[in-house]
């Protein structure tokens, strides 16, 4: 049996805990993990942290931040065991990056607002990318993680093109584009629709909606998450009200369900 560290607030103690989990007397599951097998967990934990932040639940935020930290330390411990890298390399890399990309803090670069900071950040990032780039290699996609949810990645792509001066001037212009894409989707919705064409037009519509959110100063992914939560709350409130009224959900017509839906919305609003 491995004895846990006494000071559970120490970062060094946490490193020791994870090292023990991967050690000879450690956990079979933890010892089996690889960088690739852990990838879905890193994504999942990030989403759960985002949900805790949106709900304003501080206790849950602490828990989820810990889960995210666990992923960082687990990957670092795997790297250490393989003799490739360790946690100090991770810390050094991010520290160097923060100093390098904040010359307005750690050097004499002058900025006046957050927009200047983001502009400088983008230029520095592109310079770093150019230094790493293989000579003669062509860029065929933006430097935005493919693992991001598609809606969030659409918005990030829009942010990239804005910095490259390829963007709409204002939200109303984007809204006109949304209307245009919606009409093109409607045109494809025939009696015998072409699935590929529908997918194409629906994708264009969703991409345009993401850009509209960006121009309105909103996060499309967050808007959709909030809408999902709102729909779920209304739907299960509707089922609860139906049950409390002595009716059976499955026996109700579509018209009756719509009436119950409206009642649920009024109930929640009140």
Listed by start position, the domains of the chain span 11-85, 149-218, 222-269
Q: What is the mean pLDDT of residues 151-162?
A: 94
Q: How far is CA 118 from CA 109, 111, 127, 216, in A?
A: 13, 10, 14, 18
17 and 4 Cβ atoms separated by less than 8 Å: yes
CATH, domain range 149-218: 1.10.287.1080
Q: What is the mean pLDDT of residues 95-123?
A: 90
For the full predicted model, state whether its pTM sits above 0.75: no
Question: Is 149-218 in the same CATH topology as 11-85?
Answer: yes
Write down the pLDDT at residue 120: 85
| Integer Cα distance of 65 and 49 in angstroms | 6
| pLDDT at residue 161 tops 60 | yes
Which pLDDT band holds residue 22 (cuts at 50, 70, 90)? very high
| Integer Cα distance of 83 and 218 in angstroms | 43
**Helix (H), strand (E), coil (C) string for 8-50:** CCCHHHHHHHHHHHCCCCCCHHHHHCCHHHHHHHHHHHHHHHH
H-helix segments, the chain: 11-21, 28-32, 35-55, 58-81, 87-100, 103-106, 114-132, 150-163, 171-188, 195-215, 220-244, 254-269
CATH, domain range 11-85: 1.10.287.1080
Q: Kindly report which listed range (58-62, 97-101, 120-124, 131-135) carries the lowest average pLDDT score.
A: 131-135
Which pLDDT band holds residue 141 (cuts at 50, 70, 90)? confident
Write down the pLDDT at residue 136: 47
Residue 165 — left, alpha, or beta (φ > 0 → left; ψ -120 to 50 → alpha)? Answer: left
Q: Kindly report which listed range (196-200, 212-216, 225-229) carries the lowest average pLDDT score.
A: 225-229
Which pLDDT band holds residue 126 (cuts at 50, 70, 90)? confident
Write down the pLDDT at residue 123: 82
Write down the pLDDT at residue 137: 53
260 and 237 Cβ atoms separated by less than 8 Å: no
CA nearest to 158, candidates 210, 225, 119, 123:
210
| pLDDT at residue 134 tops 70 | no
| pLDDT at residue 140 tops 90 | no
| pLDDT at residue 135 tops 50 | no
């Amino acid at each position: 049996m491995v004895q846990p560290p006494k000071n559970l607030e120490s970062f060094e103690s946490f490193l020791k805990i994870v090292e023990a989990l991967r050690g000879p007397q450690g956990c079979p599951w933890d010892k089996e993990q690889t960088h690739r097998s852990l990838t879905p967990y890193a994504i999942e934990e990030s989403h759960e942290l985002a949900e805790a932040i949106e709900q304003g639940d501080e206790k849950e935020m602490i828990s989820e931040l810990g889960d995210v930290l666990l992923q960082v330390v687990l990957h670092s411990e795997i790297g250490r065991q393989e003799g490739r890298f360790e946690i100090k390399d991770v810390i050094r890399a991010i520290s160097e990056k923060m100093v390098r990309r904040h010359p307005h803090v750690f050097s004499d670069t002058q900025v006046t607002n957050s927009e200047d900071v983001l502009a400088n950040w983008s230029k520095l990032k592109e310079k770093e990318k150019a230094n790493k780039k293989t000579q003669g290699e062509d860029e065929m996609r933006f430097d935005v993680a493919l693992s991001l949810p598609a809606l969030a990645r659409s918005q990030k792509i829009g942010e990239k093109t804005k910095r490259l001066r390829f963007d709409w001037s204002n939200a109303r212009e984007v809204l006109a584009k949304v209307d245009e894409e919606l009409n093109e989707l409607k045109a494809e919705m025939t009696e015998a629709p072409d699935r590929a064409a529908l997918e194409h037009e629906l994708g264009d519509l969703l991409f345009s909606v993401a850009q509209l959110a960006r121009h309105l100063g909103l996060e499309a992914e967050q808007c959709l998450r909030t809408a999902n939560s709102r729909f779920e709350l209304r739907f299960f409130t509707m089922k609860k009200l139906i049950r409390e009224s002595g009716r059976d959900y499955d026996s109700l017509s579509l018209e009756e369900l719509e009436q119950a839906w409206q009642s649920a919305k009024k109930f929640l609003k009140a």
